[in-house]
Structure 1
Amino acid sequence: MGRWWATPVVGAAGAWLASVFHWPLPWIIGSMLAVILVRCLGGPLGEIPYGRLSGQWMIATSIGLHFTPAVLEQILGHFVMMASAAVPTMLLALLGIAFMQRRGMDLTTAFFAFMPANFSEMIQAGIRHKANVSQIAAAHSMRLVLIVLCVPPAMFFTAQVSPSVVPARLPSDWHWLLPLLAGGALTAVIWKRCRLPNPWMFGPMACCAVVTAACNVQTALPVELSHYGQLMIGCALGGYFDRQFFRSSPAFLLKVSVFTVIMIMSTVGLAALIGLWLHVPLMTLALGMMPGSSTEMYLTAEALNLAVGVVTAMQIMRLVVVMLCAEPIHGAWLKYLRNRRM
């Protein structure tokens, strides 16, 4: 714990360097890459106490402030489409899991390692079902980092938008922000006590979304707090990696990387088909269906002036569908395999 103070310093230096080179989302990508590099070189960088949680709190508040009545109406109008789009992403993951299982990987480990859901919930499910938890953690870490490294730059390049162009933001009204930040923290604590998933992300987001929609709040989080949140999340992602991580099982990590890249490409292809059918913008659909973290997809959508509310709602819908269906599907799959052997 005594080494944690150097982590935000290294992360901030990486973010500054990424900003100089106009890299997309520099505060999250630059900080993450800087922390990974220093840790792989042997630098003693520790986890920032409550860093990831406070970063999620800031970003979740920013996301919730986008859910104005107009955005909520747009989400309700696309509800069936969003629910339907969550299913193909899960089916793609199941095809990949079946391939890994046929290649000799334990089904339970492959299932919870490659299912596109929250990191912590899949690890807990893996523990309950006696899977290889280290491989599950490694797979989800690689998936998140690869999506952060690949998707935002590809989106900016496709949209031909310079990352140095700052999108217009609403002014920050502290008469609303202070109670919303406090209310979000309180909601996160209650969310955690109720054992609901990802409390410091979904709790503040839900609190701010309800108040914003009910009162038509027109404000935004200051850019400095947004950068702080991105810095904390980037440092937390980078903290999963060091030399030992990459040496542990290079063949498995290569499989995870190939699987993730195929998932990204397949998701974009599915989004293009659905977009042509329903006349919905490709980039909005692709970000909404992407099997990554809602945080990075939201930040990318915000920077590209896309439908942030729709992207976030689609990400939440995917997580809900996966978390509700994952363990029942896993149980049915195991039962099917046992019946085949009899």
Structure 2
Amino acid sequence: MPLPFRTDWPRLWRVLLTLLLAFGAAELCVGLHTPLPWMIGPLVATALATLAGVPTQSALSLRNMGQWTIGGALGLYFTPEVLHMLATLWWAVLLGAAWALLLGWLGSQGLWWMHRGRLAGVPDGALRSTAFYASSIGGASEMTLLAERAGARTDLVAAAHTVRVTVVVLVLPFAIQWSKQHWHLQAIDMVPAVDRFQPLGFALLALLTGAGVLAMRATRRPNPWFLGALLVAMLIAALDIQLSNVPRPLSNAAQLVIGISLGVRFTPAFAHGAPRWLLGSVLQTLALLAVSAVFAWLLALLTGLHPVTLLLATSPGGITEMAITAKVLQLGAPVVTAFQVCRLVAVLTLAEPLYRRWLKPDSRKN
């Protein structure tokens, strides 16, 4: 009698071997005292192995659980005191969302200028839409879907988002670590609602945040595994309900699988498919980081918040990765998360209307 299910043993072995490689790289980075060792180590090791042709494999279920874990852990920072502080900074959060939209537009202009007339088989109209959605600082999957509706090259859009997030994850933590050593930056005193592990409380926390994930998935919201857990944990912390913290080993494991999910995208085909486009995406990301640093410094003067916290909050990185960076380096995780969530909502809501307003008339002329 045949089994009711089949196990894909080759894929399972690839996943396990990739996890072992990532774990070894993370432990090496811990020994070398690199920033974010549990995410950067797996990311770099997996990317290098994948580029070399090693059959690495990321498990989507593990990545989802990693985002669920990080979302729940971050939500616990939103205590009543933190929410009160954020309420006084609503104008700065909205300004950060507007900055993200402007940053995406500036990036699209630069990307279009770098590749105008230089990408074979891509007319100027398609290049404009491709550059716009490749530069919009929102969820990669959502931007790729919008790009497809606009007739853009979705493969180039997805590649640009992968490069952007990876460059930010690799550059910012090392820059912040260097700044801490040379400029004596101090950690920001923001702690989660509860600082101890309680088995029963943790089980209830997992159950409640899991329900939030399912609700977000049922309503087809973006990034449901992260945002669903985040919003429920935020409510728990805001109500000052003392359940449990998220143990550090679980948080480290979550960072590891998220690092793997980024690293496995760097296949040989990815690297050789459009090298000029990838190089342009790297240069664009570095330029956006530079102008974001200036904006963060100016916003820090107006708000009194730490400029490095605001750099993480307004940089062109992914929401999960920037929130992890702020949490691990103790640089105001709830502030960064609030800015990033608001930015994500603004970009997902306004990217398509702004594309029609800013770029569609120009594309019709070509």
TM-score bucket of the superposed structures, by smaller chain = over 0.9
Q: What is the aligned partner in structure 2 of residue 205 from structure 1?
A: 230
Q: How does 1:297-336 map to 2 (within 5 A)?
A: 297-336=322-361
What is the TM-score when the length of structure 2 is the normalising length?
A: 0.87
Which stretch of structure 1 is more off in the superposition, 10-19 or 287-296? 287-296
Q: Distance in 2 between matches of 1:82 and 1:266?
A: 18
Residues 207-237 of structure 1: CA distance to partner in whole angstroms, max 9, x if unpaired?
1111111134374210110011001101111
Residues 239-260 of structure 1: CA distance to partner in whole angstroms, max 9, x if unpaired?
1112221111111111000000
Answer yes or no: is the 8 Å Cα contact 1:7–1:48 preserved in 2: no
Q: Distance in 1 between matches of 2:137 and 2:198?
A: 36
Shift in Å, 1:336: 2.8
Residues 296-322 of structure 1: CA distance to partner in whole angstroms, max 9, x if unpaired?
222222233222211110111111111
**Unaligned stretches of 5+ residues in structure 1:** none
Shift in Å, 1:43: 1.1
Q: How does 1:130-279 map to 2 (within 5 A)?
A: 130-160=151-181, 170-217=195-242, 219-279=244-304
Q: Distance in 2 between matches of 1:38 and 1:171?
A: 38
Which stretch of structure 1 is more off in the superposition, 287-296 or 136-145? 287-296
Residues 268-319 of structure 1: CA distance to partner in whole angstroms, max 9, x if unpaired?
1111112123322211111111111222222222233222211110111111
Which stretch of structure 1 is more off in the superposition, 98-107 or 29-38? 98-107
Query: Does 2:62 match 1:51?
Result: yes
Count of residue pairs the alignment pairs up: 338
Q: Which amino acid aligns with 2:158?
A: A
Q: Distance in 2 between matches of 1:131 and 1:112?
A: 8
Q: What is the aligned partner in structure 2 of residue 27 from structure 1?
A: 38
Relative to 1, partners in 2 of residues 1:191 and 1:240: Cα closer, same or farther, differing over 3 Å?
Answer: same
Q: Which amino acid aligns with 1:29?
A: I
Shift in Å, 1:338: 5.8
Q: Distance in 1 between matches of 2:330 and 2:242?
A: 19
- Classify the secondary structure of the residue corresponding to 2:15: coil
- Classify the secondary structure of the residue corresponding to 1:171: coil
Relative to 1, partners in 2 of residues 1:23 and 1:75: Cα closer, same or farther, differing over 3 Å?
Answer: same
Q: What is the aligned partner in structure 2 of residue 88 from structure 1?
A: 99
Residues 19-66 of structure 1: CA distance to partner in whole angstroms, max 9, x if unpaired?
111110001000111111111222111222412101101111111111
Answer yes or no: is the 8 Å Cα contact 2:64–2:225 preserved in 1: yes
Q: Distance in 2 between matches of 1:338 and 1:256?
A: 21
Q: How does 1:70-81 map to 2 (within 5 A)?
A: 70-81=81-92
Which stretch of structure 1 is more off in the superposition, 48-57 or 294-303? 294-303
Which stretch of structure 1 is more off in the superposition, 295-304 or 317-326? 295-304
Superposition misfits of 4+ residues, deviation over 6 angstroms? none
Answer yes or no: is the 8 Å Cα contact 1:74–1:310 preserved in 2: no
Shift in Å, 1:99: 3.0
- Classify the secondary structure of the residue corresponding to 1:51: helix
Give the counterpart of 2:80 among 69, 72, 78: 69
Q: Which amino acid aligns with 2:155?
A: S
Q: Distance in 2 between matches of 1:54 and 1:304?
A: 22
Relative to 1, partners in 2 of residues 1:39 and 1:100: Cα closer, same or farther, differing over 3 Å?
Answer: closer
Q: Distance in 2 between matches of 1:69 and 1:183?
A: 19
**Unaligned stretches of 5+ residues in structure 2:** 1-10, 117-123
- Classify the secondary structure of the residue corresponding to 1:277: helix
Q: Distance in 1 between matches of 2:234 and 2:207?
A: 14
Q: Distance in 1 between matches of 2:348 and 2:80?
A: 28
Q: Distance in 2 between matches of 1:74 and 1:142?
A: 34
RMSD: 2.1
What is the TM-score when the length of structure 1 is the normalising length?
A: 0.93
